[in-house]
């Protein structure tokens, strides 16, 4: 007959005195308290798991009360009945809690950021981290990423949207990548960002300001009428950007070593082109510009001013650096075209006018150095269209002259 165990009472445990050797007081169901010679009292439990004896420890008394110890015993018995070792379950629970504490949003975000560095340009890496530090880490950074709720993300994004809608949209995309990274690393099971489809107001895509071809005569009049207010290199820069419709960075960073005035050719090294700056699969094709006569005249004039410098357009204060990218915008502002025209707008203007004249879109796109849209077009665009592009650039320069003088030219292609 099994020995009857009388359940313990708190008073009984409190009155228990230490002995020369440790001894135990049993509560039933395998639970007992072990009293050490030092007087410390430790809750333990005897049980069998898959036919083998196991011993569990629940902590010290009175840190763990009698009621708490009994609750732990009952929980352990349920696990054992399901064939689960309570020791392994406790270990897994501790590890999970530790992981939650270690995997804060900021730590995971910084790990993700580090993982992207090989593919990013330095400016992209810097801007991404700066935006997270400014808008996200101060609010969500110390929180375990697994505990972040949809509502918390919504609140953060809506606060940012009230200040800067485009920033909120970009940060939402960044958050989506961070949570996706956490899913792939096994830190969380679900990426909450795809659920937030309609959280932010739709942003109308803003295109770079650009004048239309019919507005060109007034623009040219303003440009020529501000000769006294513009430095000669600045005036030439605006005209060259209009004639060649290169990107602003491609113009202001241009070096005299790239220009062959004798043959009227400007070769922009692929490393300076937009698609050449990519770390992954950069386009290593140099960009060729067959300079129209008007551009050659401007460059000859410019060479008498900056020909001894490395750059076509050296900085006004520091000649070892190139012109600031704000110089073109400031010139347009002086002309009265703030918000109406941008450096990129010259590309839009040229593309619109040249298509109206009758040039093929693929030739225009090749001269614009646009990204090839798919593999089929990529193979097709490998044709350089050198002859047509040279003709296109000269026709464009002549078109600009006709708008400047009012002389009517029939540039329509058959």
Q: Is 370 a catalytic residue?
A: yes
- Active-site entry in 274, 277, 288, 404: 274
Strands across the sheet containing 259-260: 259-260, 265-268, 287-290
- Active-site entry in 334, 344, 360, 404: 344
Q: CA nearest 156: which of 178, 180, 190, 132? A: 132
Query: Distance between CA atoms of 141 and 106, rounded to whole angstroms?
Result: 4
Q: Is 344 a catalytic residue?
A: yes
Q: Is 113 a catalytic residue?
A: no
DSSP secondary structure letter of residue 280: S
The token pair at 106 is 């900021």
Distance in Å from the first CA to the final CA of the chain: 112
Exposure b/e, 124-161, CB count within 10 A at least 16 = b? eeeebeeebeebbbeebeeebbbebeeeebeebbeebb
- Active-site entry in 41, 72, 113, 247: 247
Q: What is the DSSP string of 159-177?
A: HHHHH-HHHHHHHHHHHHH
Q: Is 32 a catalytic residue?
A: no
- Active-site entry in 110, 303, 370, 404: 370
Which contacts of 230-234 are long-range, i.e. CB under 8 A and separated by 24 or more positions?
A: 230/331, 230/334, 231/316, 232/301, 232/302, 232/305, 233/302, 233/305, 233/306, 233/312, 233/313, 233/323, 234/323, 234/327, 234/328, 234/331
Q: Is the dihedral of CA 8, 10, 12, 14 positive or negative?
A: positive
Q: What are phi and psi of 251, to 5 degrees?
A: -80, -55
For residue 62, is the peptide bond before it cis, meaning its omega torsion is within 30 degrees of 0? yes
Give the contacts of 346 (CB within 8 A, at least 6 positions apart): 210, 241, 242, 245
- Active-site entry in 98, 221, 229, 380: 380
- Active-site entry in 287, 347, 389, 403: 347
Q: Is 48 a catalytic residue?
A: no
Active site residues: 247, 274, 344, 347, 370, 380
């Amino acid at each position: 007959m099994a020995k009857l165990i009388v359940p313990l009472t708190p008073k009984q445990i409190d009155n228990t005195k230490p002995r020369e050797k440790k001894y135990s007081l049993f509560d039933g169901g395998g639970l007992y308290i072990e009293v050490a010679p030092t007087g410390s009292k430790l809750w333990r439990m005897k049980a069998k798991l898959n036919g083998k004896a196991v011993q569990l420890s629940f902590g010290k008394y009175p840190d763990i009360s009698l009621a708490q110890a009994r609750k732990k015993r009952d929980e352990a018995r349920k696990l054992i009945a399901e064939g689960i070792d309570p020791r392994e379950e406790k270990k897994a629970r501790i590890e999970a809690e530790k992981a939650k504490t270690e995997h804060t949003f900021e730590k995971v975000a910084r790990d993700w950021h580090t993982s992207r560095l090989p593919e990013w340009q330095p400016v992209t890496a810097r801007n991404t981290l700066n935006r997270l530090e400014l808008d996200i880490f101060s609010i969500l950074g110390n929180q375990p990423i697994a505990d972040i709720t949809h509502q918390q993300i919504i609140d953060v994004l809506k606060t940012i949207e009230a200040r800067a809608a485009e920033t909120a949209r970009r940060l939402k995309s960044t958050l989506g990548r961070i949570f996706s990274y956490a899913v792939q690393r096994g830190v969380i099971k679900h990426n909450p960002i795809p659920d937030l489809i309609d959280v932010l107001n739709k942003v109308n895509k803003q295109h770079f300001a650009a004048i239309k071809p019919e507005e060109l005569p007034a623009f040219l009049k303003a440009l020529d009428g501000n000769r006294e207010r513009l430095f000669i290199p600045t005036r030439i820069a605006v005209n060259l950007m209009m004639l060649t419709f290169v990107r602003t960075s491609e113009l202001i960073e241009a070096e005299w070593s790239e220009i062959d005035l004798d043959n009227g050719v400007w070769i922009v090294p692929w490393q300076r082109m937009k698609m050449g700056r990519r770390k992954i699969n950069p386009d290593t094709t140099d960009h060729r510009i067959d300079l129209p006569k008007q551009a050659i005249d401007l460059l000859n004039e410019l060479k008498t001013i900056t020909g001894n410098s490395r750059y076509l357009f050296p900085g006004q204060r520091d000649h070892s650096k190139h012109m600031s990218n704000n110089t073109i915008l400031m010139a347009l502002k002086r002309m009265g075209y703030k918000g109406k025209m941008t450096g990129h707008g010259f590309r839009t203007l040229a593309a619109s006018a040249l298509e109206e004249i009758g040039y093929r879109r693929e030739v225009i796109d090749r001269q614009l150095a646009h990204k090839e849209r798919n593999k089929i077009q990529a193979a097709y665009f490998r044709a350089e269209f050198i002859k047509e592009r040279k003709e296109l650039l000269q026709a464009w320069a002549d078109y600009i002259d006709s708008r400047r003088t009012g002389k009517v030219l029939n540039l329509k292609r058959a």
